[in-house]
Structure 1
Amino acid sequence: MDVSIVVLTWEDFERTNACVRSLPSAAEVVVVDNGSAADISSALQAMCDETGARYLRSEVNLGYAKGMNLGVRHTTRSRVVLSNNDIVVRTGAVEELSARLDDPTVGAAFPTVLDVNGADQTAAGRFLTVAAGLAHATGLSLVLPRLRIVSPPEQGDWFSGPFVAIRRETLDAIGGVDESSFFYSEDLRLCWAVRRLGLRLAYVPAAVVTHEDDASAKRRWPPEEISRRQTREFIRASRELAGWRGRIACSAYTLGVLLRAGVGGGATRRAVARGAIEGLRAR
């Protein structure tokens, strides 16, 4: 199998162990330990020795992008899967994703993602355009589905990427995973970069993985803080990638977020509003 799988982990042996043991034995597996405590690091290294995975350790938490890029630099095969550690892979999923990369017009392939209860949580979205931003601000997105940020996977401009397959040459061409963010929106940036090469994103329903969403983040932050950080990085990425159009789109979208927070209240909406404002200001 001409596939390398990079599994990024931080302070989590149990989920990482389950992830690695669900991967195809023919794949090259690289486990990147992003600065875990000594006891967890020892357990991870022992598991890698047992399963044949390669263990890499960073003494500090590098964040998602830098940690993934560290792992990629130690891969040797022509196709790479970037995997969160809270993933369990069903039989045949890696083969299905790799097969879609046989098409030279496909730049990255994404699976069906189920939650731990078996419900479909495959997440996809549209890039934040001026029209989408204005529709969000005015409420038109409620009656015009194609102007909503969230989209069905078949229509997605970008996908949430807890498990994504990409050719190594494509990853090299885009400069690896964008390191502009410590955590969140790396998948949006990756999809943007792949599309700028003129390549398509493939949704592969037959490839199925289970994902315990935000397992690492939930151990570190409450839900409102996760919402704030996700929104901040979404706005920042959308603003930076699309130039002046992105700035207009993000300003309009933030106006809609502020109006909803003012009308609906609630801790989560207020956190989202703070994140949107921070995203407009972030450098």
Structure 2
Amino acid sequence: MDVSVVVLTWEDYERTNGCVRSLPDGVEAIVVDNGSAEEIGDKLRAMCAETGATYVRAETNLGYAKGMNLGARHATRSVVILSNNDIVVHPDAIALLAARLRDPAVGAAFPGVRGPDGSDQTAAGRFLTIGVGVAHATGLSLLFRGLRIVAAPERADWLSGPFVAIRRETFDAIGGVDESSFFYSEDLRLCWAVRQRGLRLAYLPEAVVTHEDDASAKRRWTDAEISRRQTREFIRASRELAGWRGRIACGAYVLGVLARAAVGRGEVRRAIARGAVEGLRAR
């Protein structure tokens, strides 16, 4: 199979082992150890030797984008899949994704993502346009589904990327994974870059992977902190990618976030508001 799978891991042998062993025969597996402790690194190295995967170690945690780009530099196949380590791949998922990439109009292919309980976890949305930002601020998004930031995967501008397949030539053409962020928003930035080249995104619900959402992040941060960081990086990416239109859209969207935080309650809602403001200021 002409596919390389880059599995990025940090301080997590068990999930990484499960991910690698779920890959089909014939793929090239590359495990990037993003600065794990020596004991875990030794176990990962031994697992790679046993399964035939390539072990690549970074001495410090490089973050998602730099870690994935490091792994991709060791990939030798024409299709590269970027995978979180908390993924279990179902039969035929990789073959289906790779087959869809034979269409030259498709730039990246995304599977159906299921939770450990079988629930649909596929996340997708729209780029933050002025219309979407104003609708969020004014409440019009409650009336008009087409102005909501969340979208059905089949009609979305971007999809979340715990497991995304991309042709190597496309990956190289967009400069790999955008390293502007240490963690979060990389999938939005990748989808933006692919679309800027006039290519489409493909969503294949029949290609299924199981994902334990944010397994690494939850060992490090609370739900509120995760929400703050996700919002900050979403706003920052939206602001940076779309120029002056992005700045206006983000300003409007943040006003809506702050209004909801003012009338609502809860630590997560307040964290989202903080992250939104930080996203406007972050460089």
Asked if these proteins are the same fold (TM beyond 0.5), I'd say: yes
Provide the rounded CA distance (Å) in 1 between the counterparts of 2:224 and 2:12: 22
1:142-181 alignment, distance < 5 Å: 142-181=142-181
Provide the rounded CA distance (Å) in 2 between the counterparts of 1:227 and 1:246: 21
1:24-173 alignment, distance < 5 Å: 24-173=24-173
Identify the residue that residue 219 of structure 1 maps to in structure 2.
Answer: 219
Provide the rounded CA distance (Å) in 2 between the counterparts of 1:140 and 1:266: 23
Amino acid across the alignment from 2:201: L
Identify the residue that residue 231 of structure 1 maps to in structure 2.
Answer: 231
Amino acid across the alignment from 1:141: S
Q: TM-score, normalised by structure 2?
A: 1.00
Shift, 1:148, TM fit: 0.4
Shift, 1:206, TM fit: 1.0
Amino acid across the alignment from 2:259: L
Amino acid across the alignment from 2:191: C
Identify the residue that residue 257 of structure 2 maps to in structure 1.
Answer: 257
Deviations 1:74-105 (A, max 9, x none): 01011000000000000000000000000000
Shift, 1:268, TM fit: 0.6
Provide the rounded CA distance (Å) in 2 between the counterparts of 1:255 and 1:265: 17
Provide the rounded CA distance (Å) in 2 between the counterparts of 1:191 and 1:213: 20
Residues 1:12 and 2:12 are matched in the alignment:
yes
Q: Matched residue of 1:151: which SS?
A: coil
Provide the rounded CA distance (Å) in 2 between the counterparts of 1:147 and 1:226: 25
Deviations 1:195-229 (A, max 9, x none): 00000000011100000000000000000000000
Identify the residue that residue 182 of structure 2 maps to in structure 1.
Answer: 182
Shift, 1:266, TM fit: 1.2
Identify the residue that residue 192 of structure 1 maps to in structure 2.
Answer: 192
Aligned positions, number = 283
| Segments of 4+ moved more than 3 angstroms | none
Q: CA RMSD in A?
A: 0.4
Provide the rounded CA distance (Å) in 2 between the counterparts of 1:79 and 1:28: 10
Identity over the aligned pairs, expressed in percent? 76
Shift, 1:265, TM fit: 2.1
Provide the rounded CA distance (Å) in 1 between the counterparts of 2:58 and 2:155: 38
Provide the rounded CA distance (Å) in 1 between the counterparts of 2:170 and 2:155: 22
Gaps (5+ residues) in structure 2? Answer: none
Identify the residue that residue 282 of structure 2 maps to in structure 1.
Answer: 282
Provide the rounded CA distance (Å) in 2 between the counterparts of 1:48 and 1:25: 14
Identify the residue that residue 248 of structure 1 maps to in structure 2.
Answer: 248
Gaps (5+ residues) in structure 1? Answer: none
Provide the rounded CA distance (Å) in 2 between the counterparts of 1:238 and 1:145: 20
